[in-house]
Amino acid sequence: MHFALRRFILFTLCAVAGGVTSVSAQSFSTASRRVTPSVFVGVTGVSTGLDSGRNLSITAGVDLAFRPDSQWQPALEYRAMYAVDKGGVDSLKNNLGGVKVSGHYSHIRPYVDLLAGRGETTYANGGYQVPNKLVFYTQSASNVFSFGGGADVFAIGNLALKLDLQMQRYSSPVTVSGSLYSETGTVGLVYVFHPGRTTQ
């Protein structure tokens, strides 16, 4: 696994573990809850959009949510995805950031997000041919745009189950259209450091 992603996931898991022990022992004032940080990590199934390409990936990220006690909660999000099982066609990785809006319905927090960043596609089996040319690519990098949503389902205090779906667009020289449209589904865990009304 890429060293930077390993370090990020390790940081995320340590933050969750540290938060469970330290944050639960503290009381937060209203002022301290104007920004609500959270971290998440999950397992992601990826349909890459090229032939029958499939990946099994790890996704991890950080959110900074605002107005935690309101019905609608805007947030900034950063997430990274890395393929651990790259399949036999191609594999995708990316680093994305953007905006997210969540709602509150009892213990369920549904959301939509719009993200953008950089991604990399690695082509298996010695490379993938450019249509109608004797040119093979083993790797390509591009901007990535991602739109999706999901829900965080709170069951134990500040800990929630994350269900997330994304549609992502990569530029690719090996397709006729010049683009790859991948679909991802993630199941993971979220830790919210002081969620306001989220778990009430």
Residue 130 lies in a domain: yes
Tokens of 2: 């890429």
| Rounded to 5°, angle at Cα 193 from 189 and 151 | 40
Q: How many CB atoms lie within 10 A of CB 189?
A: 16
117 is in which domain, residue-wise?
3-192
Q: Which residues pair with 93 in a beta bridge?
A: 120
Residue 73 lies in a domain: yes
Number of structural domains the chain divides into: 1
Tokens of 143: 């901007």
Residue 123 lies in a domain: yes
CATH number at residue 32: 2.40.160.20
CA distance 178 to 193: 42
Residue 200 lies in a domain: no
Tokens of 123: 């082509």
Minimal CA–CA distance to 113: which of 151, 146, 71, 82? Answer: 146
Phi, psi of 9 (to 5 degrees): -65, -40
Which pLDDT tens digits describe the chain residue by residue (200 residues)? 445 545 555 555 454 444 433 433 344 444 446 789 999 999 999 999 999 999 999 999 999 999 877 788 999 999 999 999 999 999 999 999 999 999 988 899 999 999 999 999 999 998 999 998 999 999 999 999 999 999 999 988 899 999 999 999 999 999 999 999 999 999 999 999 875 554 44
Residue showing tokens 């389902």: 153
Q: Which helix (H) or strand (E) holds 7?
A: helix 3-22
